[in-house]
Structure 1
Amino acid sequence: MKRRALVVDDEAPARQELVELLAETGRIEVVASCANAFEALRALQREKPELLFLDIQMPVLDGFALLQLIDESLLPQVIFVTAYDSYALKAFEENACDYLLKPVTAERLNQALDRLDHRTGHPLALQTALRPLRQLPCSSTNRIRLVDVRQVEYVVCELGGIYVVTASDRAFCDLSLKIIEQRTALLRCHRQYLINLDQVDEIQLQGQGLARIRTRSGQLVPVSRRYLRQLRSHISQL
């Protein structure tokens, strides 16, 4: 049975060459190929591949940074692919299955797949400490950008996805609410909302354990009964 794989590389020729090599092995089904970490995040959520062929040196977010943004439940086996052997030690510190140097040969690729066949245990266990996120990867019309967490007023989960809201803008984010909560100082105030306490102007108590937050720019964010006590406790410690 073929393994489902995702290929991520910002160089189109290298990406296509690897896709063709994988097809020739007869052992891999490439479910998506991506030019950057942003596309990869979406594809990982959509396709849930078993295996990730990941370039390391990419613009904006490199391969190591991408791994730190993936929800643990979606982590696949990882084989790094790069033109620089200086990354080898770091790759194995991240518990990658293998490390391929460009240009990748068919023989070396099959060796990596053989190693994968004998690998047991959790697909990937990041050995390095997860660093707090200072910027959130977001996309809007015809552009991709990183939003400074300090400028975020709140984050909301809607039917259309996760949205990061600042005083002047609202942008779609490819990270899950869980990842943002775990990796930033944003605090949950509702099942669908995270709030930046530094951007809170006031909390308006509404009775029956409910409340809402008014941010510095005047936006209103709901607070549920479940999180009101926690929210008040955090504010009292500021």
Structure 2
Amino acid sequence: MISCIIIDDEPYAREEIAILLENEPDFDIVAQCSNAIEAIQAITKLKPQLIFLDIQMPKISGLELAAMLDPDDMPRIVFVTAFDEYAITAFEKQAFDYLLKPIDDNRFASTLARLRKDLTPKALGPIISEKLAHIPCFCGNKLKVIATDSVQYIYSDMSGVHVATATELVHTHMTLRVLEEKTSLIYCHRQYLIAPTAIAEIEVQDAGAEVTTRSGAKVPVSRRYLKQLKQLFGFQ
């Protein structure tokens, strides 16, 4: 499911996009905003994967709003406007696409197809490609060989990438992206991978959730990954 926010000061313009998305079950409208202030609050809280953003809005324009977003955690931006002279500037603001009002159905379908290819995550569950049986780790001056099936979760922070088992916390030079590809661990947060077999409990919270592992450790789950994690275990 691709989460999105529609941002436009004109109600009919927001409604047009919402109607176009009605028959697209893999797109989930999590909010609609009428100005940039509402939009910034919604983006910060909901962390959408995609925003449909009008350019001409009162006080703060869509282009100015885009410049305020964190470039390291920016949703895909599809600018929507009645004026094509903003196109070059829009793409300079890291636009994924640029749609002219009134929106052409075929052009909109093409944009959605590209978004699906770019944003649809890999299916959760065991990865059947070549796996790592062990992860090379270290702890101080000791080199550690950690069996992959003993890992409960892995997380990254400013000091590096850390591998947690039920009994110890060690470190590795491997990246989260490579570890996700080469193990059966899955993303539950932008900075966390977790082993599905290690999950004992999922506590749903306002801003996402928290997993308790079988050893009692607490692992955050972001809203972006919560629905997929629940579906993995058969929860609706």
TM-score (norm 2): 0.48
TM-score (norm 1): 0.47
